[in-house]
Amino acid sequence: MHPFASYVLRSYYHATGWNEDNLYANLTRSSNAILDFTVPRGLHFSISKSPNSLFNTSYSMNAMPSLNGSVGYIFTSCDLDVKNSVNVRFKDMIERFKVYDQPRRPEGRPEEWLAGRRVDAREYLLYGRLYLPTGRLDALYTTRLSPTLQALVAAISDPRSNLSTERRSRGDDVSNVMISLQHDVGKWCTEYSWSADDGMWGVRLLHNFGRLGIPPDTSSTDGSQRETRPKRVDEEEATGGGLKGRVSAGAEFYFSAKEKSAGVSTGIRFTTLPDASPPSFQLPGNSSSPLSMVSPRGPPSPPTTITALFNPMMGHMSGAYAARVSRDLALCSRFDFNVYSYESEWTMGAEYWMRRTPSKFSSGDDESSSIQPPTIANSWEDVHGVVKARASTNSDVSLMWEGRLRSMLVSLGIVSDLSSRSKPIKAIGLELSYFSSG
């Protein structure tokens, strides 16, 4: 489940029109949501409050296995529509499998001029969190330099003096500052980063093949034109038989002069079209997803994502296949292999959404309303929980349930090792989250 700070950050990206999905770092995001979910450890509580649309506070506490906590503050320059934990869309709080919408060129807010001077301020977000009793401090600052350019500065400061003697002799420090510059034009997205701790420079690049998404202001008009366009005789035969989608390819390169080391990796992703998932959370409601232009019978192929990664220096290869086989069930499989050590691992996972049972007697039940098909928005509103399961050839099995109980969001999970008879349960945890606004 997303922490409250991550939820606010995603709301900020949504309000400013920035697409965080169009990054090389998120190339395997769909499969990771099923196979790499984080099971809570121990007992965790978090309470957050949004007194207004610009300022947010968050308090968290870990009661088990050790007692500690943290206090966080978030300030933004733009108004955010932060919901309560009671009425927030449940799927917006869960890292889940979905086929993301077509990439588009980001568009900034319209300029505001007064008496010949530009009065609109640059959009930014400030975040800080202090951990107790360790005194560790995390900070994040992100701002929009232009419609297609965004800068991020992340910092961490830990005054703890429990570093080993070896690390002290090398002059290592747990404090670090990292600067990242992201340039997104829709078809291309480039990210430049620098880390002060090890002096590492990095470049990430992602290229999307095919056409870009339609801008939000023209999606409604173009969509109506496409709906009224007569269908060709051979159109059904051209789209049938096989998966139809788009391809994205990217790579990353990083170099550290201090550590005298370098690294490189490359990856490719295939996602199906049309997008049978609801429009991504970061995009406006009038999305240009082909979902709005398909027939009520559904898409010709199930939502599917296929990814492949290769790191030639480490010799690591990874391939993943994820698909939604029904309305509430998504399956994923991943195979990892190292060409140098010949070590391999096969991981399988599933994601099942739990829905409320529709009421047998509803108000205003008539013949006309009963024959109307449910809308996409209503189909997601009756979701009240999700069950995730993961198993791999290293004998680890994880199971987690996330849902909403009254006004709280709850996560309950367990990690077990089937090969160990003395300690079959490695970890178990419960997380409770509550936040309000206004």
pLDDT at 366: 45
Other Cβ atoms within 10 Å of 368 Cβ, number? 6
The reply to whether 238 falls in a domain is: no
AA letter at 97: F
Q: What is the pLDDT of residues 71-129, one digit of tens each?
A: 999 999 988 888 899 888 888 899 999 888 788 888 777 777 776 776 667 889 999 99
Residues whose CB falls within 8 Å of the CB of residue 27, separated by 6 or more in sequence, listed in order? 206, 248, 250, 267, 269, 307, 309
Q: What does the mean pLDDT of the chain come to?
A: 81
Q: How many residues does the chain have?
A: 438
Is residue 278 over pLDDT 70?
no
pLDDT (tens digit per residue) in 227-249: 444 544 444 444 455 678 889 99
Instruction: Point out the least confidently predicted range of 49-58, 364-373, 400-409.
Output: 364-373
CATH of the domain at 90: 2.40.160.10
In a domain, 38, yes or no: yes
Residue with tokens 């409320």: 356
Q: Examine the pLDDT at 374 and tell me if it is beyond 60.
A: no
**Structural domain contains residue 253:** yes
Range of the domain at 24: 4-109+121-156+174-214+244-282+300-357+379-437
Percent of the chain with pLDDT over 70: 76
Inter-residue contact 214 to 225 (CB < 8 Å) = no
Structure tokens at 108: 């900034």
Residue 166 domain flag: no
Q: What is the model's pTM?
A: 0.81
Number of domains within the chain: 1
Asked if residue 208 is part of any domain, the answer here is: yes
Q: Are 199 and 256 in contact (CB under 8 A)?
A: yes
Residue 236 lies in a domain: no
In a domain, 132, yes or no: yes
Q: Does pLDDT of 353 surpass 90?
A: yes
Question: Is the distance from CB of 279 to CB of 290 less than 8 angstroms?
Answer: no
Count each helix (H run) and each strand (E run) in the chain, helices first: 7, 21
